[in-house]
Amino acid sequence: MRPSFRPIGNSAFLLVMAMTVLGVGGGTAFLITRLQERAVAEYLDLAAVHARAFEDQLERNLATVGSITELLAAASLRMQEARVDELFGQTLRYAPFLRSLSMVDGAGLITMSSNPANTGRQVRGELFLPVDSSEDGLRIGPPWAGDDIYNGRPSSEQQPLTAEAASFIPVLHQVVRDGRLVTLLASLDPDFLSHYFHQRLAPELGYVEILRPDRMVLLSTDDWGRPGSLAQVLAQAEVAKARESTEEGKGGGPWPEKKRSHGQFEEERPDGETLLTAFRVSRRYPLQVVVRLRRSEALADWQSESRRLLLAVGPALLVLVVLSTLLYRYQQRLLLARAEARQREHERLAATVFTNVAEAVVVTGADSRIITVNPAFTRITGYPPDEVVGRSARLLVDRSQPARFRRELRQALAGEGHWVGEVRQRRKSGELFVAWLSANVVRDERGGISHLVAVFSDFTEHRAEADRIEYLAHHDLLTGLPNRTLFLDRLRQAVSTAARHHHQLALIFIDLDKFKPVNDRLGHRVGDLLLQKVAGRLLAGVRAEDTVVRLGGDEFVVLLPVLDGRDDALVTSAKLRQSLLAPFHLDGHRVSISSSNGVAIYPEDGLDENELLEYADAMMYRAKAAATGGPAGAGRSGA
Which tens digits make up the pLDDT trace of 158-217? 888 876 777 899 999 888 877 778 888 999 998 888 888 889 999 899 999 999 988 899
Backbone dihedral angles phi then psi of residue 254, each to the nearest 5 degrees = -70, -15
CATH of the domain at 452: 3.30.450.20
- Res. 635: pLDDT tops 60: no
Distance CA 132, CA 113 (A): 26
- Res. 2: pLDDT tops 70: no
Rounded mean pLDDT, 314-323: 76
Instruction: Check whether residue 437 and residue 586 sit in a common domain.
Output: no
Among 246-260, 307-321, 537-551, the least confident range: 246-260
Q: So what's the pLDDT on residue 170? A: 93
Instruction: Check whether residue 370 and residue 282 sit in a common domain.
Output: no
How many other C-beta atoms are found inside a 10 Å radius of the C-beta of residue 523?
13
Q: So what's the pLDDT on residue 240? A: 47
Domain assignment present for 336: no
Instruction: Check whether residue 455 and residue 486 sit in a common domain.
Output: no
Respond yes or no on whether the N-terminal peptide bond of residue 96 is cis (omega within 30° of 0).
no
SS (H, E, C) 530-598: HHHHHHHHHHHCCCCCCEEEEEECCEEEEEEEEECCHHHHHHHHHHHHHHCCCCEEECCEEEECEEEEE
- pLDDT band, residue 247 (cuts 50/70/90): very low
Domain interval for residue 449: 357-465
Distance CA 289, CA 282 (A): 8
Q: So what's the pLDDT on residue 524? A: 84
Q: So what's the pLDDT on residue 83? A: 67
> Among 299-313, 344-358, 587-601, which range has the highest average pLDDT?
587-601
Instruction: Check whether residue 287 and residue 379 sit in a common domain.
Output: no
Distance CA 245, CA 570 (A): 112
- Res. 638: pLDDT tops 80: no
Among candidates 418, 435, 417, which has minimal Cα distance to 426?
Answer: 435
Rounded mean pLDDT, 338-359: 80
Q: So what's the pLDDT on residue 136? A: 57
Instruction: Check whether residue 517 and residue 617 sit in a common domain.
Output: yes
Instruction: Check whether residue 196 and residue 50 sit in a common domain.
Output: yes
Respond yes or no on whether the N-terminal peptide bond of residue 254 is cis (omega within 30° of 0).
no
Instruction: Check whether residue 208 and residue 236 sit in a common domain.
Output: yes
Q: So what's the pLDDT on residue 348? A: 82
Cβ(181)–Cβ(107) below 8 Å? no
Instruction: Check whether residue 272 and residue 376 sit in a common domain.
Output: no
Please give the single-letter amino acid code of residue 54.
Answer: F
Cβ(104)–Cβ(172) below 8 Å? yes
- Res. 81: pLDDT tops 80: no
Distance CA 302, CA 119 (A): 57
Domain assignment present for 337: no
Domain assignment present for 218: yes
Domain assignment present for 230: yes
Domain count, the chain: 3
Among candidates 284, 56, 55, 57, which has minimal Cα distance to 173?
Answer: 284
- pLDDT band, residue 143 (cuts 50/70/90): very high
Cβ(137)–Cβ(252) below 8 Å? no
The sheet that has 261-268: what strands, in order across it?
217-220, 206-211, 288-294, 274-281, 261-268
- pLDDT band, residue 7 (cuts 50/70/90): low
Please give the single-letter amino acid code of residue 631.
Answer: P
Q: So what's the pLDDT on residue 371? A: 86
- pLDDT band, residue 11 (cuts 50/70/90): low
What residues have CB less than 8 Å from 594, skipping those under 6 apart? 512, 513, 514, 577, 580, 581, 627, 630, 631, 632
Of residues 73 and 376, more confidence is placed in 376
Instruction: Check whether residue 218 and residue 82 sit in a common domain.
Output: yes
Mean pLDDT over each residue of the chain, to the nearest integer:
81
- Res. 506: pLDDT tops 90: yes
Among 57-66, 286-295, 348-357, 485-494, the least confident range: 348-357
Among 34-38, 164-168, 513-517, 607-611, the least confident range: 164-168
Residue 293 CA: distances (Å) to CA of 53, 104, 249, 312, 433: 15, 40, 30, 31, 97
CATH of the domain at 607: 3.30.70.270
Distance CA 573, CA 623 (A): 12
Please give the single-letter amino acid code of residue 150.
Answer: Y
- Res. 258: pLDDT tops 70: no
Rounded mean pLDDT, 144-164: 86
Cβ(101)–Cβ(113) below 8 Å? yes
> Among 364-373, 465-474, 610-619, which range has the highest average pLDDT?
610-619
Domain boundary at 438, 465, 492, which? 465
Domain assignment present for 313: no
Instruction: Check whether residue 493 and residue 435 sit in a common domain.
Output: no
- Res. 113: pLDDT tops 80: yes
Among candidates 354, 398, 400, which has minimal Cα distance to 377?
Answer: 354
Q: So what's the pLDDT on residue 257? A: 42
Domain assignment present for 15: no
Domain assignment present for 122: yes
Cβ(68)–Cβ(188) below 8 Å? no
> Among 122-136, 348-362, 525-539, which range has the highest average pLDDT?
525-539
Instruction: Check whether residue 503 and residue 557 sit in a common domain.
Output: yes
- Res. 426: pLDDT tops 50: yes
Rounded mean pLDDT, 309-319: 78
Domain assignment present for 442: yes
Q: So what's the pLDDT on residue 138? A: 85
Rounded mean pLDDT, 466-472: 74
Of residues 12 and 92, more confidence is placed in 92
pLDDT tens string 556-589: 999 999 988 889 999 999 999 999 888 998 888 8
Taking the alpha carbons at both ends of the chain, their separation in whole angstroms is 101
Instruction: Check whether residue 516 and residue 425 sit in a common domain.
Output: no
| % of the chain beyond a pLDDT of 90 | 18
Domain boundary at 465, 493, 510, which? 465
Of residues 154 and 306, more confidence is placed in 154
Rounded mean pLDDT, 142-150: 90
Please give the single-letter amino acid code of residue 326.
Answer: L
- pLDDT band, residue 35 (cuts 50/70/90): confident
- Res. 279: pLDDT tops 50: yes
- Res. 251: pLDDT tops 50: no
